[in-house]
Structure 1
Amino acid sequence: MTISCKHGIRLTAACALSLSAGWSADNACAQAGSARLEMQSEHVDIRRIPIAQLNASLPGDARLALFAIADRPGLYVMHAPSLTEQGAMFSRVVALFERRDMPHDRIVTMAAIATHARRFGTDPAGLTAGNNFSAVELAHFFDLAHQQRLELTPGERTLQRVVVQMGLIVERDGNWQARSTRDFLITIPGLGPAPGGEMIDAPVRAAILSHELGHWQYFSNDAYAHACRSFWWHELSYAERAELTRQLEGMGYDPSDRIVIDEMQAYLLHTPARYMPFADVPGPAGVDIAKIRNKLQKTVTTASR
C-alpha cells in the first residue's frame, strides 16, 4: 500500500522495493532488527479474535503479533514490529507479484530490488506500508525460491517460519503448498519512526489496516470483486481507466488489470481521504476522483443487495 498524507507521512509504493546494502552483514541496525524479529517469531502466539476487536488488540510497541480472525474464516493478520522488519520479510514477495518492471516468473536479488527502488527516487531503506497476499502466493514464493536454489534472507526465513506456524502453507514432498486457497494474510507495521523521518502513528496504522482489509474483501467476496471489475470495464471511460492506471504505475504498481482494479477499489473505498494518493486531473480526458469514488460505492452497494 502507498499512503500519502498532506499532514506528514508519505510512503511511496516504490518504497516497497527499497532494500539495499542496508540489509548487508555490515549494517548493525539491520542485523539487530533481523535478530529481534527472529527471536520474537519463535515465541509468539496466534490470537483468535473477532474482527471488531482487531484494532484494540494491536500492540502499542514494536512487537510481532499474529491474529486469526474468528468471524472471517481464512483471514490472518500480522502486526510487524516496524516498517523495517516488515520490509525485511516482504520486499521480494512484493517485487514478484506486484511491482512494475520486475519479473513475475522469478525472484530477483536484493541488489536488483534496491536498483529498482532508486529509479523512483526513494531511499533504499524504505519499505511497504502494508501487504496482502494469499496463501497460494506465499507458497509460490517459497517454492520458487527452492526451485531457483535461492538463499532466503533472514527476514524471509522468519516469514516462512511464521506462515508455517499460522498454518497457511505446508511443505509436501519438497514442495510448498497452500493449506487452503481461501487463506489470506495481511500485514501492517508497528508504531514508530519510518524511513525519512516520518512517523507511523495510530491513525496512519488504522488507515493501512483499513486499506489492507479492503483487499481481503476483494479476495473473499466474489460478488464484490465482480462489481469492481464490471465497474472498471463498463462504467469508467477509457480515459479514466488510462489515468488511474498511469497514477498507479507512477507509484510503482504493475499496470496489469489484476493489480490496478484491486488497488483502485482499496484506495477509493477503504482508504481515508487524507491518505489517498489519487489526484484529480482537469479537462475532458481527466478524472474527478470524488465522482469516481461515489459511482464505485453505488455499484458495490447495489451488487450486495
Structure 2
Amino acid sequence: MAPREQSLLKLENVVQLPQFMNRLFLLLVLVATLLGSGRLHAFEIKDGDLKTILYARTDVPVAWRYTPNKEVIILDMPGLDLLGRTFNRATQLKEQQYSEPYPRVLTSDELTKYIGAANKTFATFAGGHDLRVSDLVQFFNLAERDKVELFPEENALRDFFVEQGLMKEWRGVYLPQKPNTIILAIPQVQDRGSEPAVTRNARYAILLHELSHAEFYGNASYNRYCRTFWADAMTEGQKEAFKRFLAGMRYSVDNQELLINEMQAYLMFTPDAGSFSAGRLGISESELAALRDAFVKGRPPLQLPLRVRAGDLP
C-alpha cells in the first residue's frame, strides 16, 4: 500500500472512531432511558376468566383482560417484590392517607422506612392490590408535582396505561381516559426462597379477595347491598371489631367506603385463616359464622362463589 493511501486510511480510522463512540454513547443512553422508564418490563396481554387466571403460570408480567367484566384488568406479577415495587406506594397513598391533611406520594426512602416500621418488606407489605385508573392517575400526578422519583416498575405501569389508552399525558399532567377501569394485581405461585412462598390456595384467596373489590367498585347493586349490610345487619360491636382489625394493618378506618369494601372482601372472599379468622377479628367462631350466613341469606347480587372454604379450589 502506498504511503499516501496508508495516511488516508489512518485518517479515516481516526474520523470513524469518534463517530463510533458517539453512536455507542447514544445507544447506552437509549438503554438507560428504557430501563429508567420501565419499558423493558412489558406486560403480555391475555384474556381469561377466574379459573384460567388462577391456574396460569408465567415468568413475565401479564395483563389479564377479565372476560366476565371488561372493566377489570388483572396484573399477574411473577414475584412478590416485583408486585410490591409496582404497587405498594400507590396503595399506601390510597388506603393509608385518607385522614392526612396533605396527602402525598412518599419518596423511596420514606416508603422503605414506612414499610419497615410495620415490620414488613416490599414483598410482604400487601399480597394483592386494587385500584381504579382514577386512583393511579392521581398517584402519578402527585408524584410528578412533588418530583418524587418512582421505581422503574412504577414507570412501567404508567407507560403501560398510556399505551393502552387508559390515561394520557397533556402538558405535563396525566388525564384519565377510562377512570372507572379497575386494576387488580396478584402474585404468581412460587416456592419459598428469598421471598415468602405463594401457594395455589393463597393465590386463589388473593384473587377472590381482589375480585370482590372489583365487584364493590363496578357493581352498583352489590355496592348498595354491602352498604345496607354494614348499616343494618351488623352490630356496633362487629363494626368496631372490623375497624380494629383493619387499623392493625394501617388502613384508614375513617374512610367508611374503604371500611365497607374491606369488610365484605375479608368476611366472604378471603378463604385463608392466616389472613382472616374469628380470632384475628376478635369475635367467636359462632358469631363469624352467623355473620357470614346473614350475608349469604340476603342474596348479594354478584357472580363470585360464596362460602368458599380454605383449601377449596375451582
- If the length of structure 2 is used for normalisation, what is the TM-score? 0.75
Question: Could you say which residue in structure 1 is the equivalent of 2:17?
Answer: none
Deviation at 1:179, TM superposition (A): 1.5
Deviation at 1:52, TM superposition (A): 5.1
Deviation at 1:86, TM superposition (A): 0.7
Question: Could you say which residue in structure 2 is the equivalent of 1:259?
Answer: 258
Question: Could you say which residue in structure 2 is the equivalent of 1:55?
Answer: 54
| Amino acid paired to 1:292 | L
- Counterparts in 2 of 1:287 and 1:96: CA distance versus 1, 3 Å: farther
- Counterparts in 2 of 1:122 and 1:114: CA distance versus 1, 3 Å: same
Distance between the aligned counterparts of 1:92 and 1:123, measured in 2?
Answer: 12
Distance between the aligned counterparts of 1:98 and 1:194, measured in 2?
Answer: 28
Question: Could you say which residue in structure 1 is the equivalent of 2:73?
Answer: 76
Distance between the aligned counterparts of 2:92 and 2:192, measured in 1?
Answer: 20
Question: Could you say which residue in structure 1 is the equivalent of 2:4?
Answer: none
| Amino acid paired to 2:168 | V
Deviation at 1:235, TM superposition (A): 1.7
Question: Could you say which residue in structure 1 is the equivalent of 2:125?
Answer: 127
91-100 vs 132-141, which moves further: 91-100
CA contact (8 A) 2:80 2:123 kept: no
| Amino acid paired to 1:90 | F
Distance between the aligned counterparts of 1:86 and 1:176, measured in 2?
Answer: 23
Distance between the aligned counterparts of 1:124 and 1:212, measured in 2?
Answer: 19
CA contact (8 A) 1:88 1:155 kept: yes
- Counterparts in 2 of 1:194 and 1:171: CA distance versus 1, 3 Å: farther
Question: Could you say which residue in structure 2 is the equivalent of 1:11?
Answer: none
CA contact (8 A) 2:44 2:60 kept: no
Question: Could you say which residue in structure 2 is the equivalent of 1:3?
Answer: none
SS of corresponding position for 1:274 = coil
| Amino acid paired to 2:41 | S
Deviation at 1:81, TM superposition (A): 1.5
Equivalences for 1:91-240 in 2 at 5 Å? 91-99=88-96, 103=100, 105-123=103-121, 126-193=124-191, 198-240=196-238
140-149 vs 47-56, which moves further: 47-56
Deviation at 1:245, TM superposition (A): 0.6
RMSD value over aligned CA atoms? Answer: 3.0
SS of corresponding position for 1:68 = strand
Question: Could you say which residue in structure 1 is the equivalent of 2:45?
Answer: 46
Distance between the aligned counterparts of 1:302 and 1:211, measured in 2?
Answer: 16
Distance between the aligned counterparts of 2:210 and 2:51, measured in 1?
Answer: 15
131-140 vs 153-162, which moves further: 153-162
239-248 vs 143-152, which moves further: 143-152
Deviation at 1:214, TM superposition (A): 0.6
- Counterparts in 2 of 1:166 and 1:291: CA distance versus 1, 3 Å: farther
SS of corresponding position for 1:198 = coil
- Counterparts in 2 of 1:52 and 1:273: CA distance versus 1, 3 Å: closer
- If the length of structure 1 is used for normalisation, what is the TM-score? 0.77
168-177 vs 194-203, which moves further: 194-203
RCO comparison, higher one (Cα < 8 Å, 6+): 1
Select the structure of larger CA radius of gyration. Answer: 2
Question: Could you say which residue in structure 1 is the equivalent of 2:290?
Answer: 291
SS of corresponding position for 2:179 = coil
Distance between the aligned counterparts of 1:86 and 1:173, measured in 2?
Answer: 30
Distance between the aligned counterparts of 1:92 and 1:243, measured in 2?
Answer: 27
- Counterparts in 2 of 1:230 and 1:72: CA distance versus 1, 3 Å: same
- Counterparts in 2 of 1:221 and 1:91: CA distance versus 1, 3 Å: same
Deviation at 1:66, TM superposition (A): 1.1
Residues 83-111 of structure 1: per-residue CA shift (max 9 Å, x gap): 00011111110110112688462111222
Distance between the aligned counterparts of 1:66 and 1:196, measured in 2?
Answer: 25
1:90 paired with 2:87, answer yes
| Amino acid paired to 1:298 | K
Distance between the aligned counterparts of 1:262 and 1:62, measured in 2?
Answer: 31
SS of corresponding position for 1:95 = helix
CA contact (8 A) 2:129 2:210 kept: yes
CA contact (8 A) 2:65 2:72 kept: yes
CA contact (8 A) 2:75 2:186 kept: yes
Distance between the aligned counterparts of 1:203 and 1:63, measured in 2?
Answer: 21
Residues 156-214 of structure 1: per-residue CA shift (max 9 Å, x gap): 11121222233322223322122123211101112224687631122211111111101
Deviation at 1:120, TM superposition (A): 2.7
- Counterparts in 2 of 1:50 and 1:275: CA distance versus 1, 3 Å: same
